[in-house]
Chain A
């Protein structure tokens, strides 16, 4: 299969996300609804199964137990892995 060549259209750099993302990350995300990337189950972040006796926090889907999101806090950074999340619906 031949992939078509892509021409970059007009685009901005990630700095324009600063305002919108600041608004989101200031929210209480446990009130959000997440969709599991593994099984598609939709539910409140507050209902995830969180394993915290670990080198980081691992939040798993209550339906399939796959990882939905992970957080690691190092001395100088926070790591957030949301590969297991299709989307978060954050009420505003």
Chain B
């Protein structure tokens, strides 16, 4: 068994002013997956924000669809070195979801159906920086891209934009997630090329 080299081998690397260091431009949408694709029936889907005092705020699919949505156009940067510019999404801003959540937490652990997790500071979910996204390019989000709903946090490497998201745990401590416990950076700013622990 050979040790994997991150990234898609053999792809040409280009760069431009819109690309963070070490990234190349792609026009397709590569599918990255660390496991089977979870299939969540819409009538059982829910999104839960749990505070540091164990207070749970829940939304069913219908609840979420009743919230005001936004249509951000953003650049996305994968730690495996592809970047895709000008992607269009539809989803609910985390500012909307967090508006009634009373918390003193500093960190968030995002949790997905299927067991994936990823961590980030709570401030990175607020102020128009993050969405619970359910449409990509005008279409319902395909399961292989994280549908029915995924996080969209485009200012961080895309592993932070958890697919198949089911909730967020608000915490005082920065509990490392799935990739963060296996060598990847706790924050993951593509413009500072924070790929790995210690970068």
> Which A residues have a C-beta under 8 Å from some C-beta of B?
28-30, 51-58, 60, 65-67, 70-75, 77-79, 81
What is the chain B residue whose CB lies nearest that of A46? B1
Measured between beta carbons, the chain B residues less than 8 angstroms from A67 are 35, 115
Partner of A72 from B33, B35, B183 at Cβ < 8 Å: B183
Asked if B31 is at the interface of the complex by the 8 Å CB criterion, the answer is yes
Q: Report if B159 contacts A (CB, 8 A).
A: yes
Stretch with Cβ within 8 A of A (4 or more), from B2-10, B101-109, B129-137: B2-10
Q: Which residues of A contact B179 (CB under 8 A)?
A: 55-56, 72
Q: What sequence of 0s and 1s flags, for each residue 20-32 of chain B, a beta carbon within 8 Å of any chain A beta carbon?
A: 0000000000111
A29 touches B1 (CB 8 A): yes
- A73–B9 CA distance with the chains assembled, in angstroms: 14
Indicate if B79 sits at the interface (CB-CB under 8 A): yes
| Contacting pair B182 A53 (CB below 8 A) | no
Q: Kindly report which residue of chain B lies nearest to residue A60, judged by CB atoms.
A: B35
Contact with A along B163-197 (1 / 0, CB 8 A): 00000000000000001011110000000000111
